[in-house]
Chains A and B, each alone.
Chain A
Amino acid sequence: DVKVTQSSRYLVKRTGEKVFLECVQDMDHENMFWYRQDPGLGLRLIYFSYDVKMKEKGDIPEGYSVSREKKERFSLILESASTNQTSMYLCASIQAQGYNEQFFGPGTRLTVL
């Protein structure tokens, strides 16, 4: 069974802390994504990666960076967390060829105090 896992379901951090959100997929997918989900705003794309060490900015990259050192792992980094980054973060992956479905992880609910 295909699987996307995220390192934490719930996370509480303080303003100014460096935060790492980890995502791992076991489907050998080339493309991976980080979205942010907020009430009334739906899902917005932060960053995506189409290959190891490759990354592209999405619609709201400010305040975030990403790392993809291995094909199965895609990390989202908040260099200095702020309260407006309190949100649900969803990771997804997709096979490169064809319009197949994106598989989502369960999400990490991050609270920045």
Chain B
Amino acid sequence: GDSVTQMEGPVTLSEEAFLTINCTYTATGYPSLFWYVQYPGEGLQLLLKATKADDKGSNKGFEATYRKETTSFHLEKGSVQVSDSAVYFCAFANSGYALNFGKGTSLLVTP
């Protein structure tokens, strides 16, 4: 069935390190892909999205490219900050607009 697999955390990085969070999906058709972020004590907010193959979503220094051939949407950032500490969720939407979420990856950035 439809599912999202993302790398397990927690991930701990030093400030200014490079970040990659892997995400792959199993879905029928051509879903739209999303990364959501949840800061401590808050709800989820959209970080970036891509709606078709080879699209690159970007926001706040984060990037992810929709790779249809590998069914992947890996999240990257060149230099993380302490303020990026949060839980990151990969998700896709097919029909009906409901999202299928991965289990989330907790990121802790230390000074």
Which positions in A face B, CB cutoff 8 Å? Answer: 4, 31, 33, 35, 40-45, 48, 50, 56, 58, 90, 92, 94, 96, 99, 101-102, 104-107
Contacts and interface: CB of A to CB of B under 8 A. Distances in A.
Interface of B: 4, 32, 34, 36, 41-46, 49, 51, 89, 93, 96-99, 101-104
Contacts of B32: 99
Contact of A42 (B46, B49, B93, B104): B104
Contacts, number: 55
A42 B42 contact: no
Instruction: Give the top 9 A-B pairs by smallest Cβ distance, nearest first.
Output: A104-B43, A42-B103, A101-B46, A99-B32, A43-B101, A104-B44, A42-B101, A106-B43, A107-B43
Most buried by B among A43, A44, A56, A107: A43
Nearest to A56: B96
Given A42-B89, A104-B43, A48 B98 contact: yes
A102 B99 CA distance: 9
B65 to A, nearest CB: 17
Nearest to A33: B98
A110 B107 CA distance: 25
A105 B43 contact: yes
B35 to A, nearest CB: 11
Given A40-B103, A42-B104, A99 B93 contact: yes
